[in-house]
Copies of this chain bind each other. A is one copy, B any other.
Amino acid sequence: MGPTPPGQTKERVFRFVQQRIVAGMPPTVREVQRAMGFSAVQTAMQHLETLVAEGRLVKTSGKARGYSLPGVGPTVLVPLLGRVQAGDFTTAIQQHEGTLPIQVRSEDREYFALRVQGESMEGVGIMPGDIVVVQRQATANSGDIVVALVDDEATIKRLRLRHGRVELHPENQQFAILRPDPQSVTILGKVIEVRRFLDATPPWLADLSAD
């Protein structure tokens, strides 16, 4: 029962704890003990304390399974919306057709996801069937790719602001630039991520909420 070389056990502990945290169920100290084959709880405790002192783990004292990884943003369930129509955004959220776990920077913001249906953004690799993750905001910068409501339909385009007027540019020459009347355009949010599943669609995109 001699010690292993310095640093080796600590790394094994870190990898085990990290994987468990990422998998969604941080381990108890005794689970670390058992997984590492230690005889004493204190051995696991000690390595965990070292990792905390090094800043590689964060601990909530006195709480079961209280270790977490620093700098990893929270995961939230983002609703995948079906149809989005004018004045009906809240209903679209409630009637989402699935959910997408997304690591975000801030839980203070609202997000939603849409499935891309047209070919107007293919020039930048946003293809039909892709899923765009959208941060909810009513304004955006010129050049951002946004989801906007025009008349009665949601559309994904690149925003251009010309003298304060909204232009919605496609990224495909076969589509025209939209210059909607200001009264008939609403920006719903900014596209922050694009995802494409080449294997089968994951099961968690099915609705996990009560209907």
Partner-B contacts on A (CB < 8 A):
11, 14-15, 18-19, 21-26, 28, 56, 64-65, 68-69, 71-77, 101, 103, 105, 107, 122, 124-127, 130, 135, 145, 190-199, 202-204, 206, 208-210
Shortest A86–chain B CB gap in Å is: 25
- Return chain B residues, CB-CB under 8 Å to A73: 202-204
The answer on a CB contact under 8 Å between A194 and B202 is: no
Please state if B103 and A204 are interface contacts (CB–CB under 8 Å): yes
A22 and B76 within 8 A (CB): yes
Name which residue of chain B comes closest to A204, CB basis. Answer: B72
Known contacts A11-B210, A125-B122; is A198 also within 8 Å of B203 by CB? no
The residue that A208 contacts in the complex, of B69, B126, B210, with Cβ under 8 A, is: B69
Shortest CB distance A210–B (Å)? 6
Question: Would you mind naming 28 contact pairs between A and B with Cβ atoms under 8 Å apart?
Answer: A11-B210, A22-B75, A22-B77, A22-B101, A24-B26, A24-B74, A24-B75, A25-B26, A25-B65, A28-B64, A56-B210, A64-B65, A69-B208, A72-B203, A101-B103, A103-B204, A105-B203, A122-B125, A125-B125, A190-B199, A191-B198, A192-B198, A193-B195, A193-B198, A193-B199, A194-B195, A194-B198, A195-B196
